[in-house]
Structure 1
């Protein structure tokens, strides 16, 4: 199955096997629908993964498949990327990395570059079954978009790198979710995917490599080494297929 998806302003061709769809993804969607039935109110689920593991395209595929399955309840997949601080803020504020003062923009994509307070507030509103406006990120603009989407579905799947991060502030998010999914992957398998993403976004191969070493690699290892235990764990294997652990 090959489907083009719009991922934060970039068109990405996502390809999945029938085995992945039938043995992993559709059972997960049926589990979410059953959870919604049993709970009687909105279900909030997380899909967390290191950068480059394909969580955004997978979340969009899950929404597509859910609607194809004609299951009960409405379903939306959304991303936390719109909760990045805006570029102007990133260019004028600093953080500390390994004991050194760094401009936030130089570590964009790290947990420190997100507005965690606002993100937490919005997720709590979703958990209370409220209709919520949700910000979006545009990879073509390299900034948070002025557009927002209305989140009103009965099942909401939120995807993001740090949703299960076991660090102060972030670790509180896990308790809000009804179901959590985490994608495992090897750092060496993610590197080519992240380099390709940066090049598609306009960076030269040299600059993409530099960004990987300075930012992406740190974030990958941080997620893999410091994420809490999920309800469901998937593996992105070296052949780029998903397996359930």
Structure 2
């Protein structure tokens, strides 16, 4: 997404005003779509905004191991959607709220890792599955005041996802296998099963 495209999106988000003291903006997209980078830039451009990351609601590795799902960490069923819904409702109600974040180095959730300040008016909720039309995720839809979906061609997603793993020092074949076995199926789920957003951002 170009700098001008991000600037235009920031204007669109900031212009959405329904009289609420706090607005909840869902920014969804497949793995590799650039969500985290774009949302960080939006926060810097939009006054009194804050971020709630979906990754803060990963189920812990012990739980995933017990469920036989550790190899698919990052799939829709590997998140604590009930806890996420509870926290999102609390954030939407206003005031100061602690939210969890994800430490990628430790591969673990950090409870109360970030604080949503009471003056925050625009909450940028970032994650793959925020618009998923599936149990657990569907219940969140009524929280959103505006929905955005980052739409990136699958071939470009595949290139970025393989690059992500090679940047973590995996050999090319292992990086391709890792992307094909987990990341790409998750990306296909996002693009095939998400509801139509208010704003669809096409990005090459």
TM above 0.5: yes
Q: Which residue in the other structure is 2:123 paired with?
A: 156
Unmatched tracts of structure 1, length 5 or more: 1-15, 68-73, 94-102, 238-245
Superposed displacement of residue 76, structure 1: 1.1
Does 2:192 match 1:225? yes
| 1:44-80 deviation line (CA, Å, top 9, x unaligned) | 101100110001100001112225xxxxxx1112311
Give the aligned length.
202
> 1:76 is matched with which residue: 50, 73, 91?
50
RMSD of Structure 2 on Structure 1 (CA):
1.8
Superposed displacement of residue 184, structure 1: 1.1
| C-alpha distance in 1 between matches for 2:110 and 2:88 | 19
Superposed displacement of residue 168, structure 1: 1.7
> 2:164 is matched with which residue: 176, 192, 197?
197
- Secondary structure of the 2:46 match is helix
**TM-score of the pair, normalised by structure 1:** 0.76
Does 2:145 match 1:178? yes
Q: Which residue in the other structure is 1:9 paired with?
A: none
Superposed displacement of residue 212, structure 1: 1.4
| 1:167-209 deviation line (CA, Å, top 9, x unaligned) | 1221121211000000112111101211122233354433322
Unmatched tracts of structure 2, length 5 or more: none
Counterpart contact for 2:57–2:84, Cα < 8 Å = yes
Q: Which residue in the other structure is 2:40 paired with?
A: 60
| C-alpha distance in 1 between matches for 2:104 and 2:171 | 16
| 1:117-143 deviation line (CA, Å, top 9, x unaligned) | 101111111121142211111222222
| C-alpha distance in 2 between matches for 1:186 and 1:30 | 25
5 Å matches for 1:17-36? Answer: 17=2, 20-21=3-4, 24-36=5-17
State the structure with bigger RCO (CA 8 A, min sep 6), 1 or 2.
2
More displaced, 42-51 or 146-155? 146-155
Q: Which has the higher helix share?
A: 2
The structure with more radius of gyration = 1
Counterpart contact for 2:28–2:130, Cα < 8 Å = yes
Superposed displacement of residue 27, structure 1: 3.5
- Secondary structure of the 1:165 match is coil
**TM-score of the pair, normalised by structure 2:** 0.91
Q: Which has the higher strand share?
A: 1
Does 2:102 match 1:122? no
